[in-house]
Structure 1
Amino acid sequence: MRGKACKENWRFYKKPNLGFPALILSCSFFFIAGLFASNLLLSQDTSSDERWLKARARQLQSVEEEIISKYNLLPSGETGDDFITLIPFQILSWRPRALYYPGFLTAEQCQHIINMAKPSLQPSTLALRKGETAETTRGIRTSSGMFVLSSEDQTGVLQVIEEKIARAIMIPRTHGEAFNVLRYEIGQKYDAHYDAFNPEEYGPQTSQRVATFLLYLSNFEEGGETTFPLENDENFEGYDAQKCNGLRVKPHRGDAILFYSTFPNNTIDPASLHASCHVIKGEKWVATKWIRDQVQV
């Protein structure tokens, strides 16, 4: 059951043993069938989001077919795969290192996480720096959230997602913290901050957050962008919460972004400063997976 879900979600493909004529005939058939189906579907009364998702699915199918027909796989090691894993991404920035993964989750997976989290939501808290208190930091982070381990999900959905994240970033699942599922309602936000912990501010750390994988579980109508105020800007004068300045990212439901909080030498990247803009219209749901440099027990 889980293996089938993994296969469909990650788009694994073994090299088919087809002759060239059969391959051409097969590709032509799927192209014509896809064109006919797309016209039929788009003629129906569907929302703009549904049409956008269908168009993106057709684009991904074209890429998948090209990969199937083009590449010969190499022999894999004992821990490797004998198939291709297709997880498309876009480089959003090199400063900070940030990637965008369209269609990383299905709509069903997104809703499953939301349904798990809803009964347990509590006001979000902050890791406090030296000298800070809950009172002095009030208003910095106004969302509600909860933490959940993949082992707590009896359906196996969170385990499948963790395994896909590990493949996307090539860091084992054992380095991930629990999922932090967050809901932002109208007016709620999270001011500019770092996910990595500076020992000079937070004290000695047994491990460090090196990357953040952010899953977008809902569409939100206005506001709610994830912004990187320092993106490629060495002359930063300050973050403006009202303007929500910087590189602003607003993915769709099921999309994900990855950004690295540290450089390869494990020092904190100043450009990884980021914020969640306040929601103006709608409701924003996300799930955060923080990745550390040490195995998490």
Structure 2
Amino acid sequence: MQRAYAECAEGFGFRISPCPPADPRKKGIVESGVKYVKRNFLPLREFRSLADANRQVADWVMGEAGNRCHGTTREKPLTRFASVEKALLLPLPTVPPVLATWVKVTVHPDTHVKFGLCLYSVPFRLVGQELWLRATHTSVQVFHEHQLIASHPRLKDPGRRSTVRDHQPLEAQAYQLRDPQWCLEAATRIGSACAALIEALFADRVLDNLRAAQGIVRLAKTYGSARLEAACVRALSFGSPRYRTVKTILAKGLDQQAAQSSFDALAETYTRGGRFCRDTKSLLTH
């Protein structure tokens, strides 16, 4: 019913303003128009729809409420509206105003700010600072000292992120340029086993495994190409072409151990007869 109150008040003589009155003592006079609508229009009425409620409000205003003697002005609201107030009204803007939400956000170390469970990038030089974010139904804008520094489309699904490459540090931008083809070429330079492991990693969901492939190639800077190649050989022998597998092999120095079959590595319990094992003859006597 708030819409009905607004139409009744703003269109037919009730002077409801978005700004507070200059004299606070007149606040009650301004709000009394709402009381009049609630006490004289709503009781004993039923509405089948919003359109029906608006029609009844319009009929009531044009008939009863608009032609009564107003308690303050001592004039009919419709008469005063036509003679005084109508000429003071301004036309509506050609473009409807955009409703926006303003919030203060902090830039995370990953150069993103969070709004509505989604992440939006800003220039990396502003990490740790507080910024103002303006969100509409279709866009998100970020301001720093009254200057627009980032603009993104509004994301709807929680957990999604919108990242502009130029917002990232130079090293991060270079890292993002390392596409699957770059990873395959770098792995080939390291060795055939490394190349085979990267190809196995890209056999399914290339983009999902891109960061893992980049991480495997990057391990050569820490451990060297020879050790990385040996770790890839070991990972492939166990059928586990994964970043975590290769990293664990290198961290524990398993790439420097002699290769042995899985059966040879089993405990004595399985290779030389179990402690509680019995021969076939003893089992068949019962």
Q: In which range does the TM-score fall when normalised by the shorter chain?
A: under 0.3
- When Rg is computed on C-alpha atoms for both structures, the one with the higher figure is 2
Name the one with the larger strand percent.
1
Give the alignment's TM-score, normalised by structure 2: 0.19
* Greater fraction helix: 2
TM-score scaled by structure 1? 0.19
**Greater relative CO (CA pairs within 8 A, separation 6+):** 1
